[in-house]
Amino acid sequence: MPKERVLARAPSNIAIVKYMGKTDSTLNLPENPSLSMTLAKLSTYVEIHAGKSGTQDRLVAEAPPGVPGEVPTLSPAGIEKFLAHFARIRTRAPNLLREFEMEAFDSGVGEIRTTNTFPHAAGIASSASSFAALTLAGVAFLARDRSLFRAKFASTPGLRRRLAALAREGSGSSIRSFEGPFVAWEGSEAFSVEATLPALSDLVVVVASREKKVSSREAHLRVRTSSAWSGRPARAHTRYAELRTALVAGDFPTFARIAEEDANDMHQLFETAEPAFSYRTKETRQVMEFLATVGAPYAATLDAGPNVHVIVPQSAELLWKRRIAEEFPQYPVLVDRQGTGAELMAPLGGEG
């Protein structure tokens, strides 16, 4: 019987062509294909071990020993969504493992602990990284032979993709956190795509750290009330195709144009929905205007929040960091780089 704790880490990702609107809200199937850059450090750790008592899986608000990051403050609804996804993993793991010639095992009640390496106050969405990490740790926890699972996870791209598709059912955008650096999501599947761009960094200018007023679940529904919605899937499809071509060609100017256009498109949908809502602030606009004056290549995008992601070649990371800090000393800047997706960490004691 497996005894050791399992520990998984999954990074966040930043979409260049956004996932906004669903064709199926139970399975989280998207209206349009999306494409993101996987990050390296901004991530979630999930540790699971078999509880000694109790009859129900539970989330413990503590950092696992030796694991970096902050324990997130989850709302009761957030905790319920997290545990509901673990329940989904329990029902799906036996068939999923069997597909890859492994067996599931009832390891008993799961005690789950999680941390984020980005500060809660930074207002970075953690659903992609947390549902990806929970899915990987959850299936590993339920595998009879965890060493075999570890080996197959490292060597079988098909297994990684099946786990990603399962994570999607908990949070859509988490499907893109299993590979990298560039991941496309079409329908029920996500996969890495070819790119010849120089290695990139993402500088997140944290202009505000308020909690989201409108959840992403609500945003996916409400955008459909905007008069600009009818053309949105077609616009996103066109940008997605252009972006795939630009990545292969190493065409950073086109990458940058699409990033900005699609972020604007998504935020305009929010701002013209009924009732309208908005994440962009005066500070968001000031940062965007400043970036255009620096005179070095960059791509700017926004998630469903006011903070500005400034994507630049790694070779220009220091220059951009310095220029942004000089102009906006009041805003923290989180610096991350492109990464390769979710990973299982070495076992933390016990067999494994």
Examine residue 284 and tell whether it contacts ligand PMV (CB under 6 A). no
219, 184, 228, 178: which is closest to 22 by C-alpha?
219
179, 175, 155, 178: which is closest to 166 by C-alpha?
175
Examine residue 280 and tell whether it contacts ligand PMV (CB under 6 A). no
Sequence letter at residue 111 = E
CB under 8 Å to 165, separation ≥6 — which residues? Answer: 175, 188, 189, 190
User: Residue 113 — φ and ψ, nearest 5°?
Assistant: -130, 145
CB 96 within 8 A of CB 142: no
Supply the minimum distance, in Å, between the C-beta of residue 304 and ligand PMV: 4
Examine residue 226 and tell whether it contacts ligand PMV (CB under 6 A). no
Rounded distance between C-alpha atoms, residue 68 and residue 50, angstroms: 21
Applying CB under 6 A, which of residues 38, 173, 192, 284 lies at the interface with ligand PMV?
A: 173
Within residues 107-136, the interface with ligand PMV by CB under 6 A covers: 125, 127
Examine residue 172 and tell whether it contacts ligand PMV (CB under 6 A). yes
For residues 34 and 117, which CB has a smaller minimum distance to ligand PMV in the complex? 34
User: Residue 132 — φ and ψ, nearest 5°?
Assistant: -70, -45
Q: Residues touching ligand PMV: how many (CB under 6 A)?
A: 12
Applying CB under 6 A, which of residues 37, 304, 312, 324 lies at the interface with ligand PMV?
A: 304
Supply the minimum distance, in Å, between the C-beta of residue 226 and ligand PMV: 15
To 5 degrees, how large is the angle CA 122–CA 163–CA 175?
40
Q: Which stretch binds ligand PMV (CB under 6 A): 14-22, 67-75, 107-115, 148-156?
A: 14-22
Supply the minimum distance, in Å, between the C-beta of residue 174 and ligand PMV: 6
Q: Which stretch binds ligand PMV (CB under 6 A): 43-51, 93-101, 151-159, 171-179?
A: 171-179
CB 118 within 8 A of CB 124: yes
For residues 303 and 336, which CB has a smaller minimum distance to ligand PMV in the complex? 303
Report the chain's C-alpha Rg in angstroms: 20
CB under 8 Å to 148, separation ≥6 — which residues? Answer: 102
For residues 303 and 317, which CB has a smaller minimum distance to ligand PMV in the complex? 303
Rounded distance between C-alpha atoms, residue 244 and residue 241, angstroms: 5
Supply the minimum distance, in Å, between the C-beta of residue 352 and ligand PMV: 31
Applying CB under 6 A, which of residues 7, 19, 204, 312 lies at the interface with ligand PMV?
A: 19
Applying CB under 6 A, which of residues 7, 15, 112, 134 lies at the interface with ligand PMV?
A: 15
Supply the minimum distance, in Å, between the C-beta of residue 286 and ligand PMV: 22
The CA-to-CA distance between both ends of the chain, in Å, stands at: 10
The residues binding ligand PMV (CB under 6 A) are: 15, 18-19, 34, 125, 127, 171-173, 216, 303-304
